Amino acid sequence: MSDTDKLLDYTIPQLLRWRVGQTPQRPALREKDFGIWNTYTWEDYYDHVRKTALGLKELGIGKEDTIAIISDNIPELVFIAIGAHSVGAMSAGIYQTSMPHEIAQILQYLKVSAVFCDNQEQVDKVLDVRDQIPRVKKVIFEDPRGMREYMSDDWFIDIRELYKMGGAVHDKEPDLFESLVDHGHPDDPCHLCLTSGTTGLPKGTMMTHRNYINMGVQITKVDPLESTDEYVSFLPFAWIGEQMNSFGVAMATGITINFPESVETAMSDLKEIGPHFMFGAPRIYETIRSEIWLKIDQSYWLNKKFYNYFMDIGLKAAKYRMTGEAMPLGLKALSWLGTQMVFRPLVNQIGLLRLRRAYTGGAALGPELFTFYQAIGVNLKQIYGQTEITGIAYMHRDGDVRPETVGKPLPGTDCKISEEGEILSRSASVSPGYYDLPEKSEELLEGGWLHSGDAGFIDEHGHLVVIDRLSDVMHNNKGEMFSPMFLENALKFSPYIKEAVIYGNKEDFVACLINIDPIVVGKWAEDRGISYTTYMDLSGKPEVADLMMEQVIDVNSRAEKEHFKIKRFALLYKLLDVDDGELTKTGKIRRKFVQERYQNLYDSLYNESIHEKDVEASFQYQDGQSTTVKTNIKFYTVKGI
């Protein structure tokens, strides 16, 4: 057994204690507050978890209890979570963007006993549904601003008061916390991670200590990290993608987690830290790519010439780097020159100069985007997994990055493809099942394998290729199969397209709805003297329609088969939005919901005699209010398809 494999015998609190014994004064956490980075050593970290745990115990929180966390990423979030784990309770993350009724449903389903909120905004959401959540004993808050009126109600408690309570318990019983930590077992469920909820109410996936630590140990066998490495925590904690780093990777390696000052400053704070590794959903990398293109577009003509020339060089060089093949000397020299003159300064501007590896997961990323990042010197690699296998089960290796695949299994992970073409996996990171949903758990783990719900195959290089969700794979009326996700990603590689929804199941041809990127297309319109007022107005411009026609024709020109080509499209009058239920909290399309919501547009796409249509557009705002406006939608047909 290797030294790192021994870590699998610990719980998260036990591993935290072990870290304190190894490097007590090394930075574990950093938080930016009022422009200053404040540091918590591993010893500080453990001290805060101890005070939190004993305070929770004093409140009556223990085994069989669950504490929900609704918060931006701050150190107190992990103090609460690991404090709960220390007393045998479970933590559960809820997205900060959740509406009060969604929060009530989740708190009821997970039988939550206490809630931690970072500020008044989140506290007020819980307060709105107080009568629906009688199990909740306490609401703990971190930011006292605006909370003075609530302090006469003992339902609320300041986290600083919780620390005092925990400190007092420790003074009376100095051995109690260590005893509680010792009682934990690696296979105890410690966190309930919500699934993305593409088909309804999210399910609470029971995650064990071993699940998280095993994932952290195995990924670092492939891509080792140094204990001095930096990570910036900007993904929502409710998503498995953040938990696997905060609980798994950080504990397994001893890296430092940096918390931005706010969601709004996350990317600028990232530039200050200069992380050594980064994990993000495809949307993040698409946004960064758009920012790069905007910077180039706004640059001098000579800079554009240099960029375009060296981008061609970079794309050629990237193919050698990704496959690990020896690069011709001439290309190697030009690639080095392009890196020094163009790409290194560019990457430095976006804060990724120290980055050794970047990962993306949660949804597929188009092959072109991988190659783009590799061309500018960012070692972007695909990972694949799901909440139920702690986020990562497959990943690319350095020198073996094949953009059309998601890489090979992590050490200790078995993979096979079922007769129906479903991807099945098995490892120590697989969840024991869903909370309070025994039938769903049996389906998930039937035959001792995790059933992903995704269709895929293993290629000749041993890489896993994910086609699409089994439920999303489409067949035209001739029975020919195609993947809507593949076509959507091909469209989204265009800097002008933010989102796309592909249709065509049991139809004569493929059609789609397109969301333009308001920033990039807006700049494009301004450069051409095209005035507009709103997103709806911009998306209705005929010049923008012509631009989108060019993007669709380009995708069609690269389609491998005729039935992959897009024949009809329309530009949606609004961005698909989480608040409207069109996207999950992690940015995935709720395909069935979107089709039902825009059924009138879908019907018109498949009636080639319709070229335009008046529709009523409904908008839902974060405060729960909605509005309806009338607009005209045009439908476009690609010639020759």
Q: What is the pLDDT of residues 64-106, one digit of tens each?
A: 899 999 999 999 999 999 999 999 999 999 999 899 999 999 9
pLDDT greater at residue 85 or residue 582: 85
Q: Which pLDDT does position 197 carry in this prediction?
A: 64
Phi, psi of 479 (to 5 degrees): 85, 5
Task: Tell me the per-residue pLDDT of 191-234, one tens digit each, with 9 for 90 and over.
Answer: 999 987 655 678 999 999 999 999 999 999 999 999 999 999 99
Residues 6+ apart with CB under 8 A from 380: 285, 358, 359, 360, 369, 370, 373, 374
Rounded Cα distance between 240 and 222, Å, is 20
Helical segments of 130-239, H only: 159-172, 176-182, 209-222
Residue 199: the pLDDT is 53
Q: What pLDDT was estimated at residue 623?
A: 59
pLDDT at residue 56 above 90?
A: yes
Q: Classify domain 5-264 by CATH number.
A: 3.40.50.12780
Nearest-angstrom CA–CA distance, 514 and 548: 9
Q: What is the pLDDT of residue 1?
A: 56
Q: Which residue has the tokens 């966190």?
A: 191
Average pLDDT over residues 539-565: 92
Closest by CA to 169, choosing from 59, 75, 81, is 59
Express each pLDDT in 367-420 by its tens digit: 788 889 999 999 999 999 999 999 999 999 999 998 889 999 999 999 999 998
pLDDT reported for residue 606 = 95
Strand ranges (E), 195-292: 204-208, 230-232, 256-259, 277-280
- Distance (Å, whole) CA 72 – CA 96: 7
In whole angstroms, what separates CA 169 from the centre of its chain? 39
Quote the CA–CA distance of 323 and 330 in Å, as a whole number: 18
Whole-prediction pTM value? Answer: 0.84
Q: Which CATH class is domain 474-637?
A: alpha beta
Of 104 and 630, the structure prediction assigns the larger pLDDT to: 104
Summarize the confidence of residues 447-469 as an average pLDDT.
Answer: 92
Percent residues over pLDDT 70 in the chain:
97
Sign of CA dihedral 30, 389, 411, 467: negative
Q: Which residues contact 413 (CB under 8 A, 6 or more apart)?
A: 218, 393, 394, 425, 426, 427, 429
Q: Where are the domains of the chain?
A: 5-264, 280-420+451-468, 474-637
Place of tokens 């045998």: 88
C-alpha to C-alpha distance for 366 and 375, rounded to whole angstroms: 15
Amino acid 198: pLDDT: 54
Q: How far apart are CA 138 and CA 534, in angstroms?
A: 44
Reported as a single tens digit per residue, the pLDDT across 485-536 is 889 988 988 889 999 999 999 999 999 999 999 998 999 999 899 999 999 9
Q: What average pLDDT does this structure show over 30-39? A: 94
Unique residue bearing structure tokens 């007769």: 419
